[in-house]
Structures are given as C-alpha cells and as structure tokens.
Amino acid sequence: MSDDFYDLLEVERTADDGTIKSSYRRLAMRFHPDKNPGCDKSESKFKAISEAYECLKDPQKRATYDRYGKAGFQNGGGGGAQDFGGFADIFDNIFGGGRGRQAGPQRGADLRYDMEITLEDAFHGKATEITVEVSALCEPCSGSGAKPGTSAKSCTTCNGHGKVRAQQGFFVVERACPTCHGAGKVIADPCKSCRGEGRVDKQKTLSVNIPAGVDEGTRIRLTGEGEAGARSAPSGDLYIFLHVTRHAIFEREGTTLFARAPISFTTAALGGSIAIPGLDGVCHDIRIPAGIQSSKQLRQRGAGMPVLNGRGSGDLVIQVEVETPTKLSAKQKELLEAFRETETGDECPKSTKFFDKLRSVFDDII
C-alpha cells in the first residue's frame, strides 16, 4: 500500500478540494471498520486514508506536504521543515497571543450553487426552490457523533483543551491534539448513522427569493444552509450565484435595456411610430421623427431594469436600423423613379456634401 497521500485518496496532485472530499467519502464508506468487521487490512487502509484526508483538506498542511512530504510534519525530521502551523502561531506561542488554531469542532464549509435565470426573472424577481446535497446534522445523535444514550468523553491526551504543546529549542509550539484532532473530546462508542462524524449526507430542498433587478453574478447568501459542522459545530453558508441567460430581443447594461428595431425607409423619411412590448408588460409606443438616420437611438425613460434593492428603473433604448427594401412592385418602382426625378440634392445633405468634396479632390479624374 502506497504511503503517498494522493495515491491513498486516488486523486491527482492537482485535484481540487471538492474532488478530494468526494474521493475520501467514497473510500471511507468502503473501508470503514463497521463495514469490514475483523478485517485488519481494511482498518489499516481506513486509518491511512483518514490521515491523508486530514492533511490534504487543510490548505496549509497540504502546501507543507506538497513541498516536503511527510518529513514536513516530523519534529526535527530529515525534510528540513517543521509544521509550526504558520509564523503567526510561533509568535503567538512566544508572546502568549490567542491567535492560534481554534480548539474544538470547526464550522461547516460554505457551499456554492450556480443558478440560471431568464432576463424576465431578473426583471420581476422570482420565488423558487432548489435541491442541494449537503452534510446535514445527524438526527439520531443530534450531531454529537456519539451513539444515542452515550456521550463523548474528555480527551486524556490534551485534558479537554484540544491542543498540546511541545518544546522545540527556544520555542514552545502549540498544535491541535493528535488524539481528538482539536475537539477536546473523544467518542468511545460512535453513532452508527454518522460513524461519529455528527453529520450525514442528505438532500435538502430550500426556498430562494430572487429580488427584482438582479444581474449576472449577483450572489444570494443563505445563512446556515451550507455543510453542517462536525459534532454540533455551526453550519456554513450556501451562496447562490445567478447567471442570466441571453435574451432574444433585449441586451442589458446595468439598468438600461437595449434593443435594435428595423424600420422601413418610408417610416424613416416620413416619421411614424413603432410598438415595442417591454419586460414590464407595457407596450411602449416609440415615436419615430421624420428624417431619422440608421443607428439613431431613441430612449424611453423608466422602461428599463428595476434598481436592485432601490427605487426606480433604468431606461429602454431602441436603436433604429433603416431597412432598404429588396422586393418592389412595378408600381412602387414607378413611384420611386418619379421621386428620383424630383430630387434636388437637398433631401440627403450628407450624400450631396460627400460627393461635392470628392469632386473637388479628384476633379481631374471624375
């Protein structure tokens, strides 16, 4: 059996925290002594993967292991490095500071959930439900980790403090107790449902209220809905990250909504109006001034996205694109030919000015 922590957990050295945790749970279920009674090999394997996980789940311990291997955790070992728990811990122990590692069960991990919503959902807000798989409080033992009817006992190694001290030269180094792993208590008879962890994996259905005006990347926090803490420690939080799907008509920039609207060249020349249904459920009548040019933007105040956790709304901006007809009837061609015969050049001043300038520059050629 390999003694490399990554090999023991069957993960790559580049594996993220979630992959390591998932692999550990799978292997722990497979080699747990309760599932393999009397099998020394399984018990030895279970202890080895537990030791590996205890190291790799801690970013600081993992960094030390990646650099020095197991030698990094040996007092005065041949690796040339010792696990002091960081420079802050060294100075805390010298000067009596209280910034060392906290004893006792640690708060549960925070979780992330990515949710897709439509632009309409972002506009109006939405009440919905999500289902997540988390480590939840074990009900039979009420999170204590001890078999119902029993309780954890004070650790005799650290006398219930969760920490032990060791003299290393001029330094006194304080570490988490290796017996109780900082809990201060040990469980002689663990709960069969959670195997002494005080928590079990389960699916939870949660209600989520999405407020009006949210944008891409908006984060919603559900306090206490993350991973349950070990042995009745507080739970972490659940963070929901919102992702707004692309809309068929509207684009968004802050609280402003943008849309492109093609109009006929006769509407552009003579003026008129177009009807644009907004996300607010109102059909907005956009007035087109006579002689409007392509790419001109028209603004409808207050018809954009609502301000998140505030009052008022942004604007709706319509960019007109003048469309040149591609299919004309004989009658339409006749009318346009008649119009062309009456043109003086004043109808399209930009065009007239451009060609006048062109002639002045290239008079000898044109």
- For the annotated binding site for Zn(2+), the residues are 138, 141, 155, 158, 177, 180, 191, 194
**Residue 107 and residue 275: Cα distance in Å, rounded?**
56
**Residue 262 and residue 153: Cα distance in Å, rounded?**
77
CA atoms within 13 A on the CB side of 27: 25
Going by the annotation, the residues of the binding site are 138, 141, 155, 158, 177, 180, 191, 194
Q: Which residue has the tokens 């497979």?
A: 30
The dihedral formed by the CA atoms of 21, 26, 28 and 33, expressed in degrees to the nearest 10: 170
Q: Which helix (H) or strand (E) holds 231?
A: none
**Residue 51 and residue 54: Cα distance in Å, rounded?**
5
Query: Could you tell me the sign of the dihedral formed by the alpha carbons of 264, 268, 272, 278, in that order?
Result: positive
**Residue 166 and residue 143: Cα distance in Å, rounded?**
32
Structure tokens at 265: 């060249």
CA atoms within 13 A on the CB side of 32: 15
CA atoms within 13 A on the CB side of 299: 5
Neighbouring C-beta atoms of residue 45, cutoff 10 Å: 19
The dihedral formed by the CA atoms of 73, 152, 159 and 178, expressed in degrees to the nearest 10: -10
DSSP-derived letter for residue 306 is B
Structure tokens at 39: 């099998």
Q: Which residue has the tokens 């330094």?
A: 171
Residue 140: which residues within 8 A CB-CB, separation 6 or more? Answer: 148, 191, 192, 193, 194
**Residue 317 and residue 315: Cα distance in Å, rounded?**
6
